[in-house]
């Protein structure tokens, strides 16, 4: 079950568990590509804007070193963080997945920033087209 709220990066909930390692994360011929979600036995990851919720831990700075960490977080409950800490294989798989996911977000943000109309471009256009 994946829930996307409001707009890009505002709220994204994802469920990850040990079965996902073979089903999603392996990038080889053994990947079973079974994308069924087991909510009951999964660690819940919430990607959203920065939050001060003391019941959740932002694990994004542990996963990537990027300016993305200034604008968003990946939150897990204390209970689910303990599960990740105890299971190195699951933690590493989640870390790899989130790293790739966040890199894709960063690439898209950089791409849209590069094509965005800048203030200086608007001012130059107005200067060249006084009738506007």
Instruction: Supply the pLDDT for residue 102.
Output: 87
Whole-angstrom CA distances from 108 to 8, 104, 105, 123, 124 are 11, 6, 5, 26, 27
Instruction: Supply the pLDDT for residue 7.
Output: 35
User: Which pTM value belongs to this model?
Assistant: 0.64
Q: Domain limits of the chain? A: 3-128
Instruction: Supply the pLDDT for residue 131.
Output: 82
- In degrees, rounded to 5, the angle at the alpha carbon of residue 99 between the alpha carbons of residues 106 and 41 is 130
Is residue 15 a contact partner of residue 43, using CB atoms and an 8 Å limit? yes
Instruction: Supply the pLDDT for residue 109.
Output: 87
Instruction: Supply the pLDDT for residue 29.
Output: 57
For each of the chain's 132 residues, which pLDDT tens digit applies? 333 332 334 445 565 666 656 555 555 555 555 555 556 667 788 888 888 888 899 999 988 888 888 888 999 999 989 988 998 988 888 888 888 888 888 899 889 888 888 888 888 888 898 886
Task: Report d(CA 120, CA 127) in Å as an integer.
Answer: 10
Instruction: Supply the pLDDT for residue 10.
Output: 47
Instruction: Supply the pLDDT for residue 82.
Output: 92
Reduced DSSP (H G I as helix, E B as strand, rest coil) percent helix, strand, coil of the chain, to 5 = 45, 20, 35
| Torsion angle of the four alpha carbons 45, 93, 33, 47, in this order, in degrees rounded to the nearest 10 | 20
Task: Report d(CA 15, CA 124) in Å as an integer.
Answer: 48
Instruction: Supply the pLDDT for residue 8.
Output: 39
Instruction: Supply the pLDDT for residue 115.
Output: 87
């Amino acid at each position: 079950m994946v829930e996307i709220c409001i707009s890009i990066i505002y709220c994204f909930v994802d469920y990850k568990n040990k079965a996902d390692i073979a089903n999603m994360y392996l990038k080889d011929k053994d990947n079973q590509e079974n994308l069924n979600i087991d909510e009951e036995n999964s660690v819940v990851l919430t990607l959203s804007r920065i939050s001060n919720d003391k019941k959740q831990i932002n694990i994004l700075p542990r996963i990537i070193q990027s300016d993305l960490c200034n604008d968003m977080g990946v939150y897990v409950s204390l209970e689910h963080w303990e599960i990740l800490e105890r299971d190195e294989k699951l933690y590493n798989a989640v870390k790899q997945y989130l790293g790739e996911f966040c890199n894709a977000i960063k690439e898209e943000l950089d791409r849209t920033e590069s094509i965005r109309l800048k203030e200086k471009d608007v001012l130059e256009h107005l200067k060249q087209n006084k009738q506007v």
